[in-house]
Structure 1
Amino acid sequence: MPPRARAVVVAALVALALTACAPGSGIDPDDPDQVEVFTWWATGSEKAGLDALVDVFAAQHPDIRFVDAVVAGGAGSNAKSVLAERLADGDPPDSFQAHAGAELTDYIEAGQLQDLSGFYAANELDDVFPATLIDRLTVDGAIYSVPTNIHRANVVWANTAVLTAAGIDPAAPPADLGGWLEDLRRLREEGVAVPLALGTEWTQLQLFETVLLADLGPDAYSGLWTGETAWDATGIDAAIAHYDELLDYVNSDFAGLDWDTATQIVVTGNAGYIVMGDWAEIAFAQAGWTYGLEYTTFPVPGTAGVFDFLADSFVLTVGAPHEAATEDWLSTLSSVDGQQAFNLAKGSIPARTDVDASAYPAYQQTALTSYADDVIVPSLAHGAAADVAWSSAISDAVSRFGIDRDVDAFRRGLLEAAERSLAG
């Protein structure tokens, strides 16, 4: 579809969504016992998780009506366009879904979100969320979102049969990126055309962030987003070099593949590995595979002991029409029952550390252990580490590098993006 025609179609879709979510579509302005929650969770495990959470909310607060202001399509882009219009028009939903962390920066600076520090204290969330997570959620002494789940980004998923056939022990992952590159070379030598599967822009960004984490370590990696670590440090050059080498082992059509299609290259035995968040568990479960037999996981080599986190979270908007009911919603999604129901349905893990780990499948149990014990750092690709503008600039540089493999231009692009963002 030509760009102009595509723009017309997108505009029409957004206009239709705005109409569907306009005041009066299920909202009674005179009824305090309701809460309008804005998401793009319309299908799949995300919808199943939301439905499970709403069931718990109904049981805990039977007198409050949940109004699902969902906007589907565009992997959330349609919803974000509608949300921006509503906030600009002074018509905020009571709560909306967003990645926890720096992705909320623009909303915070615009004065559109309420400080939830008092809510955390009242619900004793400081005692059940890890201190390092609380640190990642805190902006100038305030907390603006409540995570309903946790995902881990620095995970390698491996097809054990492919590795074993190449003489690689799936139970003995390499300790660092150098060792992993040796295994990738072995796979190539043994006839595996795609040792490492890769997908579209954000999957490339996620792979690059884990390489940064491996070469810099958690403290220096986290310092990238505060200015404490220089973007022309030696570790950056090492990360660029390692990322460049990794791209030698990926599928040539990576730019056109979403994460699920890229993951299927591993499931079908045409690739040995993929770096993907733990939503990839869905693909292996749907294949009927058993964790530890047909597939396994390990932290990206060089990142053992580190949990690269992202979280779906909900906020309380400034001017929320139903503030008390919204706090009840946030109370449910942060409760033991709410988090258990949501995460068992969605395939993620709770933000709370006092849940029953035995209720979760084998992979999630490894993630729960790591989340409780490891150093937590923010994901770049999923909104926790950098604001939208900075993350987008890095993503553009990573995408260009995937095409031209120009190391000097890549280095300049990363440095210029950091200078612009940190100066602002």
Structure 2
Amino acid sequence: MKLRAIMAVLCVTPLMLSVSRAQAAESVAVLHWWTSGGESKAVGVLKDDMTKAGYKWNDFAVAGGGGAAAMTALKTQVISGNAPSAAQIKGPLIQEWAEQDVLVPIDSVAKSENWKASLPPAIDKLMQADGHYVAAPFSVHRVNWLYINKAALDKAGGKVPTTWPEFFAVADKMKAAGITPVAMGGQSWQELTLWEDVVLSQGADFYKKAIVDLDQKTLTSPQMMQAFDTVRKIQGYFDQGRTGRDWNLATAMVIRSNAGMQFMGDWAKGEFASAGKKSGADFICAPVPGTSNAYTFNVDSFVFFKQKGRDTATPGQLAMAKEIMNPAFQEQFSFYKGSIPVRLGAPMAKSDDCAKKSYNDEQVAIDSGGYVPSLAHGMAQSDAVAGAISDVVTKFMNSNQTSQDAVNALARAAKTK
């Protein structure tokens, strides 16, 4: 009898181990739009960490459109009842998805890891819906950066511009030296990024009234006219081949010294790093002229969707949320992505001078009220409003429309429901 009992245990044990391994090997489907060189390396850090923890990573990367194509794919998946475990979503869209009752809370992780004390207040608020944490933030990107090829700047004999007159002086010198002054792509979100940079140069309070509050008086003010005039003047320094050009191809122009400057968020720094370029020696990152005391933030986040047969987060979803906010992960992720950790107090000693400046400027902006959400990158308004404003900017930058007509159109767009 004892022998039979021992044999029975020996027969059952492999089965139990098999079940345990199957549970540990939960497949985590992840939808995102990180497909460029630096972005792919960054998300690869999370993939490796999740794999080491015993989970299967099912990567669903959708390139193009600054995330627009990914959002279309996500809607299709959710409607068909095949929602991913996690998806990259930003800003007000987090709350919009929560209203559809398709997200699961991750409060247990957020509370045990004390996220509220670890995140900037503006970002902590964005991660919640109806008092529950439904998203985990990866990193913070500063949008109002100007990248400058140091060799091009030296050849032109210019200095890093801090005002628009200084910027145009440098651009003129680069043009005279045979260098395309400004590398620019031909996509609407890139055009909106440039426009919001210029709006921010009118002051953080002006930006908040115009972009966040959609104040009609501010939107139709002489200052807004001046912003459109400045954008028009900057356009005179683009090359003729920007139509349809993606952002990383514009960055490559600066990396290869084919262009002198680029207006782009600090994810572009990941492209420089992938090319073996070093800040200070090969390129310079500086605040957009007139915005040194302000910080337009763009936060990458993952939300977690209900899986079939469950109303609570799976072990894999909770493990992912916890890993995303791990200080060591945030540090390594930011190295590749070009961002800074969203977690306050995360390690910065190994970061380059651009990242350190970004982190220091962020703390100053938070304290001074200059910390503002990016419209172009889904942080400030709903898709409907942001899309309407983007259409105004795109039309202006691709036609002979006057600044006055653009301002009038902007005021109408802000009323979009």
| Alignment match of 1:246 (pick from 234, 239, 262) | 234
Are positions 1:366 and 2:357 aligned together? yes
Give matches, 1:78-93, under 5 Å. Answer: 78-93=69-84
Give, in whole Å, the separation in 1 of the partners of 2:98 and 2:330: 25
Structure 2 vs 1, CA of residues 302 and 140 (structure 1 numbering), >3 Å: closer, same or farther? Answer: farther
For normalisation by structure 2, the TM-score amounts to 0.82
3-state secondary structure, aligned to 1:255: coil
- Measured after TM superposition, the shift of residue 154 of structure 1 is 0.7
- Measured after TM superposition, the shift of residue 235 of structure 1 is 2.5
2:180 match: 194
Give, in whole Å, the separation in 2 of the partners of 1:280 and 1:43: 10
Are positions 1:205 and 2:192 aligned together? yes
3-state secondary structure, aligned to 1:149: strand
Unaligned runs of 5+ in 1: 1-29
- Measured after TM superposition, the shift of residue 136 of structure 1 is 5.0
- Measured after TM superposition, the shift of residue 120 of structure 1 is 3.2
For normalisation by structure 1, the TM-score amounts to 0.81
1:232-279 CA-partner distances (Å, limit 9, x unpaired) = 233322211111111122222222321122223323333321111112
2:87 match: 96
Are positions 1:44 and 2:34 aligned together? no
Give matches, 1:47-126, under 5 Å. Answer: 47-59=40-52, 61-62=53-54, 65-74=55-64, 76-98=67-89, 100-114=90-104, 119-126=109-116
Bigger shift: 86-95 or 238-247? 86-95
Are positions 1:214 and 2:189 aligned together? no
3-state secondary structure, aligned to 2:82: coil
Structure 2 vs 1, CA of residues 51 and 116 (structure 1 numbering), >3 Å: closer, same or farther? Answer: same
- Measured after TM superposition, the shift of residue 113 of structure 1 is 2.9
Give, in whole Å, the separation in 2 of the partners of 1:34 and 1:370: 41
Counterpart residue type for residue 38 of structure 1: V
Give, in whole Å, the separation in 1 of the partners of 2:103 and 2:274: 38
- Measured after TM superposition, the shift of residue 372 of structure 1 is 3.1
Structure 2 vs 1, CA of residues 246 and 355 (structure 1 numbering), >3 Å: closer, same or farther? Answer: same
3-state secondary structure, aligned to 1:419: coil
Larger radius of gyration: 2
Give matches, 1:12-27, under 5 Å. Answer: none
Are positions 1:162 and 2:141 aligned together? no
2:371 match: 376
Give, in whole Å, the separation in 2 of the partners of 1:156 and 1:121: 38
Equivalenced residues, count: 384
1:13 match: none
Are positions 1:419 and 2:415 aligned together? yes
Is the contact between residue 105 and residue 387 of structure 1 (CA under 8 Å) also seen in structure 2? no
1:393 match: 388
Q: Percent of pairs identical after alignment?
A: 25
Structure 2 vs 1, CA of residues 312 and 35 (structure 1 numbering), >3 Å: closer, same or farther? Answer: farther
3-state secondary structure, aligned to 2:58: strand
Root-mean-square deviation (CA), in Å?
2.8
Counterpart residue type for residue 81 of structure 1: T
